[in-house]
A and B are shown apart, each in its own frame.
Chain A
Amino acid sequence: MSLLNVENLSVSFNTREGKTEAVKNASFSLQRGETLGIVGESGSGKSVLCYSLLGLLPMPPASIDSGKALLDGEDLLMCNKKALRHIRGNRISMIFQDPMTSLNPYLTIRTQLTETLRLHKGFSKKAALMKAIASLEEVGIADPEKRINSYPHELSGGMRQRVMIAMSLLTEPEILIADEPTTALDVTIQAQILRLIKRLQNDHNVGLIFISHDLGVIAGIADDVMVMEKGDIVETGTAENIYYQTQHPYTKKLLCSIPITGKPLSHQYSLETNAQPLLKLEGLKTYFHDNHVFMTKKQDVIKAVDDVSIEIYPGETLGLVGESGSGKSTIGRSIINLVNITQGKIMFNDKEISTHGNEETNISRRQIQMVFQDPYSSLNPRMTVFDTLAEAISLRVKLNREEMISEVVKLMEDVGLNADQIRKYPHEFSGGQRQRIAIARALALRPRLIIADEPVSALDVTIQAQILDLLLKIIKKYHLTMLFISHDLSVVRYISDRVAVMQKGKIVETGDTEDLFSNPQHPYTRSLLSAIPIPDPRKERQRQIDTSIT
């Protein structure tokens, strides 16, 4: 008999709009030492499924309609609150997605680590502290005696996730549920954390349920894979079966949507010979000063962008990659003057636009438009699509009402939205549709240069592919130039003609996309490339072995 047996589990949410089934008839089992990967896009029910096992869903609105979840023969769904608390964090532990928000910012690591041991294992204060320090050491935190007294905000994202992992394994649980544990992390950190989870799973012989939207990550870690779509488990099997003998069309669609596997539409724009760069950054420096109190003697200077020179030629797409904190977004913000630059020049179409503005620089700036990462918060929730787009259009031309409506409809059709949605508010659209609105807003001003700052990072893979293709189509149609900023190398590879790699405020390598990806020169580029998970179990495992040796 398996350690965990879930049979016909159905979970639904009762909202004012009616009942939605989040999980439909899910059945699976898990053994000690085994890893089950659950893949799906947002809203597929993969997290709900796992939360329902531990009674972590708010009820109401959630309700469990049917099914059993047997842990060693005991039904978790029938447990009373007290029995369930004894299982949570003790026999079944969880690791959550975002280490920034999942640790309590008001308590020290020490309190958060020791409390589970004292609660579940009855450790004395001192014994709990010793064990907590040992576990921090095990997850690779240097100087654990000192670090244990830190607050979460004093640690980096990767370190916080290590703390979270240490916390979940303290009580020697039988099952570990990891809900997108590496999604919020940079690729190189992701690779380290994945390696750590795998090693600890082996050492402690726990059954691991690993939830992820990333097929590459799942390929490397899971023995069995379960694919979920809109609450249904559409396909289950061993990793090899799922990846090499894909049955269900949805799984096929997921596998095809990963940009790295699909080759882009041919978009190589033939550069005019001896063309002038449309945008040219010369020795750009943007520093931030940590002004604390006016008496501070020495200011802390953060060199977000440190002596960067790039040229973008008309019609090309330059991908700017780097990990969080590398300064890539600050470059975008510097160009459109959202932050003040410290030094250097920004030339657009041979005119300097970095100086504060006369009418001419304002007109130049209008030809540069930005698309932001989060389509949820970058659109004004109280303005309809029409309002948002009309506002942007009216900056460019004065139109009467009918002309304005036809102009807005034209824009909406350009980005693949239906004209009958013109009166809707942002919350009535999905994430992908909102990003389409954001792109339409940028297009409304008839820009020559688009700066896209992580435009697809908040979206599911299948939606990502659609938005990337939309960007490519629009660039071609309007002969636009694009600066595409992203942390995701496969996305950048898919869309860019040239790529610049950024690390700690500096550009470390620039090159044509295929050259750079096939033959990276700088060690940082190489380490970035080698850290991307490959959605192919055999290759991914081989890659992990290779990289752990070097």
Chain B
Amino acid sequence: MFRFVLVRFLQAIPVLFLVISITFVMIRSAPGGPFDSEKNAPPEIIQQLNERYHLDDPIIKQLGDYLGNILRGDFGPSFRYPGRSVNEIIFNGLPITLELGFYAILFALTIGISAGLLAAYKPKSWQDYLPMSFSMIGICLPSFVLGPLLVLIFSIWFEWLPVSGWGQFNGDKLLPSITLGSAYAAYISRLTRGGMLEVLSQDYIRTARAKGLSEPRIILVHALKGGLLPVVTFLGPAFAGLLSGSFIIETIFQIPGIGRLYIQAAFNRDYTMIMGTTIFFAALIVVFNLISDIIAAMLNPRISYQGKN
């Protein structure tokens, strides 16, 4: 297992290197620069700014310097927030985004797995059709529609929950988490249903029935482990996607996480911010994929990462 983890980490290095290089070159070849919106700045000042941030160096040298800095853990200064470093900005926003992501995935797992189990237990009945119809709606409804809709219903009509914010009012974390998690809940319920139906049709489930086991035991002990494998393998990319996709939610609900920073950085051509957040998200995707692979291996005894002796 240790070797497997190590190898996967080593494989991540070239992946991250490519992501960094491609992003670096692409944002610099896009028209416009970080200081273009300083409308009245005379060309000499732009020139000076470019020199100060080494933007007039050849692109290969810039990339080399940047990679060197990253290895030292320095993502450079932000171009748009003078005096603040990218590291600082990311690590201020990170805990908030992580917390949001965690609640969202928790919501998605709870709702998704229970709906999936319910549907798989009695396929082609109303217990199947009802949750699966909801899940279809959940998949189709984009979060920028669902979010405002939930706000309209729960905050404005019923006045139960605050309209926006994060940690300022009671219950203000509820709506953003549900909005972010619902599409994933929908996917997870479908994956659970599919995985469980597949497992429940296996010969060994018939064996379990022939042994006289009760239905709850058959579902929870004999079928669940195998049935949830697709969900587990989906969780890695899902969690990473959730974090990077949170910018819509963060914008709608005025949450100061890094998703919002990412978007602002892109609009502002804040090169170092874009790079910092991109690298950060790429690394997250690699790590979460690895974690979900490890969990899948633990659930499935037939996958062995140790190799035979």
CB distance from B52 to the nearest CB of A (A): 45
CB distance from B68 to the nearest CB of A (A): 28
The reply to whether A101 and B203 form a contact with Cβ atoms under 8 Å apart is yes
A333 CB–B CB distance under 8 Å: no
The reply to whether B204 and A103 form a contact with Cβ atoms under 8 Å apart is yes
Residue of B nearest to A84 (CB): B212
Query: Within the assembled complex, what's the spacing in Å between the Cα atoms of A104 and B211?
Result: 12
Query: Within the assembled complex, what's the spacing in Å between the Cα atoms of A365 and B308?
Result: 37
A56-B210, A115-B213, A295-B3 known; A153-B204 Cβ under 8 A: no
Residue of A nearest to B300 (CB): A106
Taking a contact as CB atoms closer than 8 A, the residue among B4, B7, B203, B225 that contacts A96 in the complex is B203
CB distance from A462 to the nearest CB of B (A): 26
Chain B residues whose CB sits within 8 angstroms of the CB of A290 once the complex forms: 307-308
CB distance from B210 to the nearest CB of A (A): 4
The reply to whether B211 and A105 form a contact with Cβ atoms under 8 Å apart is no
The reply to whether A102 and B207 form a contact with Cβ atoms under 8 Å apart is yes
A104-B222, A107-B221 known; A119-B212 Cβ under 8 A: yes
Taking a contact as CB atoms closer than 8 A, the residue among B4, B204, B226 that contacts A101 in the complex is B204
B208 CB–A CB distance under 8 Å: yes
Residues of A85-135 contacting chain B, CB below 8 A? 85-90, 93-94, 96, 98, 101-107, 111, 115-116, 119-120
Chain B residues whose CB sits within 8 angstroms of the CB of A244 once the complex forms: none
Residue of B208, B222, B225 most packed against chain A (CB within 10 A): B208
Interface magnitude class on chain A: 35 or more
Taking a contact as CB atoms closer than 8 A, the residue among B3, B203, B299 that contacts A293 in the complex is B3
The reply to whether A105 and B226 form a contact with Cβ atoms under 8 Å apart is yes
Residues of B190-220 contacting chain A, CB below 8 A? 202-204, 206-214, 217
Taking a contact as CB atoms closer than 8 A, the residue among B3, B4, B208 that contacts A104 in the complex is B208
CB distance from B12 to the nearest CB of A (A): 14
B73 CB–A CB distance under 8 Å: no
The reply to whether A293 and B302 form a contact with Cβ atoms under 8 Å apart is no
CB distance from B257 to the nearest CB of A (A): 37
Chain B residues whose CB sits within 8 angstroms of the CB of A94 once the complex forms: 207, 210
A106-B299, A295-B3, A300-B308 known; A85-B213 Cβ under 8 A: yes
B301 CB–A CB distance under 8 Å: yes
Residue of B204, B211, B221 most packed against chain A (CB within 10 A): B211
CB distance from A316 to the nearest CB of B (A): 41
The reply to whether A85 and B212 form a contact with Cβ atoms under 8 Å apart is yes
Chain B residues whose CB sits within 8 angstroms of the CB of A295 once the complex forms: 3, 7
Residue of B nearest to A291 (CB): B307
The reply to whether B222 and A107 form a contact with Cβ atoms under 8 Å apart is yes
A151 CB–B CB distance under 8 Å: yes
Residues of B1-32 contacting chain A, CB below 8 A? 3-4, 7
Chain A residues whose CB sits within 8 angstroms of the CB of B208 once the complex forms: 104
Query: Within the assembled complex, what's the spacing in Å between the Cα atoms of A164 and B210?
Result: 12
Chain A residues whose CB sits within 8 angstroms of the CB of B299 once the complex forms: 106
A15 CB–B CB distance under 8 Å: no
A101-B204, A293-B4, A294-B7 known; A106-B210 Cβ under 8 A: no
B224-238 interface code vs A (CB 8 A; 1 in, 0 out):
011000000000000
A54 CB–B CB distance under 8 Å: yes
A151-B301, A151-B302, A293-B307 known; A87-B203 Cβ under 8 A: no
The reply to whether A86 and B307 form a contact with Cβ atoms under 8 Å apart is no
A292 CB–B CB distance under 8 Å: yes
Query: Within the assembled complex, what's the spacing in Å between the Cα atoms of A116 and B305?
Result: 32
Residue of B3, B212, B300 most packed against chain A (CB within 10 A): B212
A153-B301, A293-B3 known; A103-B207 Cβ under 8 A: yes
The reply to whether A104 and B204 form a contact with Cβ atoms under 8 Å apart is yes
Taking a contact as CB atoms closer than 8 A, the residue among B206, B217, B225 that contacts A56 in the complex is B206
The reply to whether B3 and A89 form a contact with Cβ atoms under 8 Å apart is no
A52-74 interface code vs B (CB 8 A; 1 in, 0 out):
00101000000000000000000
Residue of A nearest to B307 (CB): A292
Query: Within the assembled complex, what's the spacing in Å between the Cα atoms of A98 and B204?
Result: 10
The reply to whether B301 and A105 form a contact with Cβ atoms under 8 Å apart is yes
A266 CB–B CB distance under 8 Å: no
New A-B pairs, 9, CB < 8 Å, besides A56-B210, A85-B213, A106-B225: A56-B209, A88-B212, A89-B212, A102-B203, A104-B207, A119-B211, A120-B212, A293-B3, A300-B308
A-B contact pairs, 26 of them (CB 8 A): A84-B212, A87-B212, A88-B210, A89-B210, A89-B211, A89-B213, A93-B210, A96-B203, A96-B207, A102-B203, A102-B204, A102-B207, A103-B204, A104-B204, A104-B222, A105-B204, A105-B301, A105-B302, A106-B299, A106-B301, A107-B221, A107-B225, A115-B217, A119-B213, A164-B207, A295-B7
